[in-house]
Structure 1
Amino acid sequence: MRVKLDRFPDGKRMALTMSYDDGIYHDRRLVETMNRYGLRGTFHLNSGMLGKKDYLERDEIATLFAGHEISAHTVTHPFLPFIPKEQAVQELLNDRIALEELAGYPVRGLSYPFGSWDGSIVSMLDSVGIEYARTVDSHGSYRMPDNFQQWSPTCHHRDMIGHAEKWLSDNKVFPTMALLYVWGHSHDFDRENNWELLDQFGQLVGNRSDIWYATNMEIVLYSKALKGLRFSASGHLAHNPSAIPVWVAVDNREIRIDGGATVHLKEDAEPDGRRL
């Protein structure tokens, strides 16, 4: 019996997330288009800029990003490695505090302003409650990250059509979970006059039953829950100590393990929903 931890929710092999920075008013058009195609993503906001020229208003944040994730981007968008650590801590914590008041839930994600980070910044993230941080160092592949606090995307949105075509055509031969992670700024579409890319992308990958459309944090939480499964010494039993269901591949079967449940993985075993 072979058990593989390589399935997204509902046993899917492909996941798509999008990630946009700054909170410029062009996010309104971006979100409207994403919603039309069932795309979901994460919006990293500078709380100190909201309400200023070209930025979103504070009172529209919760409604605009409903169904997506609100995430941190610092209060004032500094180069984090080049300011005192005490100030960096304040930038991160105060951004979380301000955004959580608007979002109504804990904000525990980040994208590095200017894509700038170093080891000292990464080392402080746990202490300020940041569970993941996105870079701008596109790697061009569909792999899951080794370290969520140095999480690099697949591509910028200007390259997303080519990557989506490859991702869809190669999905039958992926050895493991295949994540397409697109990042950018909504004002890039306006500046480069290429909003049509977003519609092309939506028509290509949107509203499909074989793709998990997720926010950054949903991917983090699911990955942690999947890797947190506890197995018996024989490998025949699996216990999910988390609160969310996960899926595993067992030989040619896909098995759902609900939060708090213990299941038998052998094909001839009766389902067991005991909670430990």
Structure 2
Amino acid sequence: MARILLCYPEGKFKALTMSYDDGRRADERLVSIFNKNGIKGTFHINAGLLGTNDRLTAEEAVELYKGHEVSAHTLTHPTIARCPKEMLVHEIMEDRKQLEQLVGYTVRGMSYPNGSYSREIISMLPHLGIEYARVVPTHGGFGLPEDFLEWKGTCHHNRDLMKNAETFAGLFKKQYLYLMYVWGHSYEFDNDNNWELIEGFCGYIGGRDDIWYATNIEIVDYIKAYGQLKFSAGCDLVYNPNAASVWLSVDEQIVEVKGGSQVRLG
């Protein structure tokens, strides 16, 4: 039987994703840095607060986040673990509706406002169309989450960012899939006067051939697509019922299983 392992697109085994909250005006500088270095970000937005205080307007957000992902952060940023369930449903669904009208695609992820969530909230999210949700605690590692609805990142950008980047860049054991996940708020770079931190990080880790630069939802969709593959009992055939390709390592040879196709593996 062939030795079959999941790969990221094009046979890569490392992925990087960035996650930033609140839709603040400092995102303009952050997105510029990402774009310069070929890095993708997910931006968690409160639709009900757009254009208030230091936040981008709806029109500015639509233009700025092209090529990245707009994700939910609830309508008005309440501490949702303290809210009635009816309010929670309204906050998430109305945020999704308004954001979807702006960006023109389904919004299927979120980050928890104020880091607030509970097991009951997690159980409700699939019924509200939410497929992943990022939490505040981090794990300092480079693995995929056990539960995408309680998605812990590698680090906040103020916690050992360059140390983690150097470790991540040096990973070479292809029997594993690695993910570096960084989160924060762009206005923190203004508050801490340390824009050179994210500029140095992106310049160092961007543009590498062995890293897949992806949004949060792209990672979720890809892992779910792999889970839908149909292998024969002998693992010598695989059928991909998805629209998108999935890549496999088959006895250390990279195989693309295109959407709608059946491929012989051995």
Scaled by the length of structure 2, the TM-score of the pair is 0.97
2:169 partner amino acid: L
Q: What percent identity do the matched residue pairs reach? A: 49
SS at match of 1:90: helix
1:128 partner amino acid: L
The equivalent of 1:224 in structure 2 is 224
Q: Report deviation, 1:6.
A: 2.9
> For the residues of structure 1 that align with 2:6 and 2:247, how far apart are their CA atoms?
8
Q: Report deviation, 1:233.
A: 1.0
Tell me if the contact between 1:12 and 1:211 (Cα under 8 Å) persists in the aligned partners: yes
> For the residues of structure 2 that align with 1:3 and 1:98, how far apart are their CA atoms?
46
> For the residues of structure 2 that align with 1:252 and 1:74, how far apart are their CA atoms?
44
Tell me if the contact between 1:72 and 1:95 (Cα under 8 Å) persists in the aligned partners: yes
Q: Report deviation, 1:207.
A: 1.1
The equivalent of 2:176 in structure 1 is 176
The equivalent of 1:259 in structure 2 is 259
Tell me if the contact between 1:7 and 1:13 (Cα under 8 Å) persists in the aligned partners: yes
2:163 partner amino acid: G
SS at match of 1:135: strand
Q: Deviations over 1:102-121 (max 9, x none)?
A: 11111111000011111110
Q: Deviations over 1:49-92 (max 9, x none)?
A: 10111010111112100000000000111111100000000000
SS at match of 1:100: helix
2:123 partner amino acid: S
Q: Report deviation, 1:239.
A: 0.6
The equivalent of 1:273 in structure 2 is none
Q: Report deviation, 1:136.
A: 1.1
Tell me if the contact between 1:46 and 1:76 (Cα under 8 Å) persists in the aligned partners: yes
> Bigger relative contact order, structure 1 or 2, given CA contacts below 8 A and separation 6+?
2
The equivalent of 1:122 in structure 2 is 122
Q: Deviations over 1:169-191 (max 9, x none)?
A: 1x112641100000000011111
Which structure 2 residues correspond to residues 96-111 of structure 1 after superposition, within 5 A?
96-111=96-111
Tell me if the contact between 1:24 and 1:54 (Cα under 8 Å) persists in the aligned partners: yes
The equivalent of 1:245 in structure 2 is 245
The equivalent of 1:191 in structure 2 is 191
Tell me if the contact between 1:5 and 1:226 (Cα under 8 Å) persists in the aligned partners: no
SS at match of 1:125: helix
Tell me if the contact between 2:14 and 2:211 (Cα under 8 Å) persists in the aligned partners: yes
Count residues in correspondence: 265
Q: Report deviation, 1:126.
A: 0.8
The equivalent of 1:81 in structure 2 is 81
> For the residues of structure 2 that align with 1:252 and 1:223, how far apart are their CA atoms?
20
Structure 1 portions without partners, runs of 5+: 267-276
> For the residues of structure 2 that align with 1:196 and 1:186, how far apart are their CA atoms?
13
1:165 partner amino acid: E
How large is the RMSD of aligned CA atoms in angstroms?
1.0
The equivalent of 2:17 in structure 1 is 17
SS at match of 1:204: helix
> For the residues of structure 1 that align with 2:45 and 2:4, how far apart are their CA atoms?
36
The equivalent of 1:271 in structure 2 is none
The equivalent of 2:131 in structure 1 is 131
SS at match of 2:7: coil
Q: Deviations over 1:211-259 (max 9, x none)?
A: 1000000000000001211101111000111111011111121110001
> For the residues of structure 2 that align with 1:160 and 1:261, how far apart are their CA atoms?
41
Q: Report deviation, 1:146.
A: 1.2
SS at match of 1:176: coil
Q: Deviations over 1:116-135 (max 9, x none)?
A: 11111001101110011011
> For the residues of structure 1 that align with 2:174 and 2:136, how far apart are their CA atoms?
24
Tell me if the contact between 1:139 and 1:153 (Cα under 8 Å) persists in the aligned partners: yes
Tell me if the contact between 1:3 and 1:248 (Cα under 8 Å) persists in the aligned partners: no
Tell me if the contact between 1:6 and 1:176 (Cα under 8 Å) persists in the aligned partners: no
Runs of 4+ in 1 over 2 A off after TM superposition: 1-6
Tell me if the contact between 2:23 and 2:61 (Cα under 8 Å) persists in the aligned partners: no
Structure 2 portions without partners, runs of 5+: none
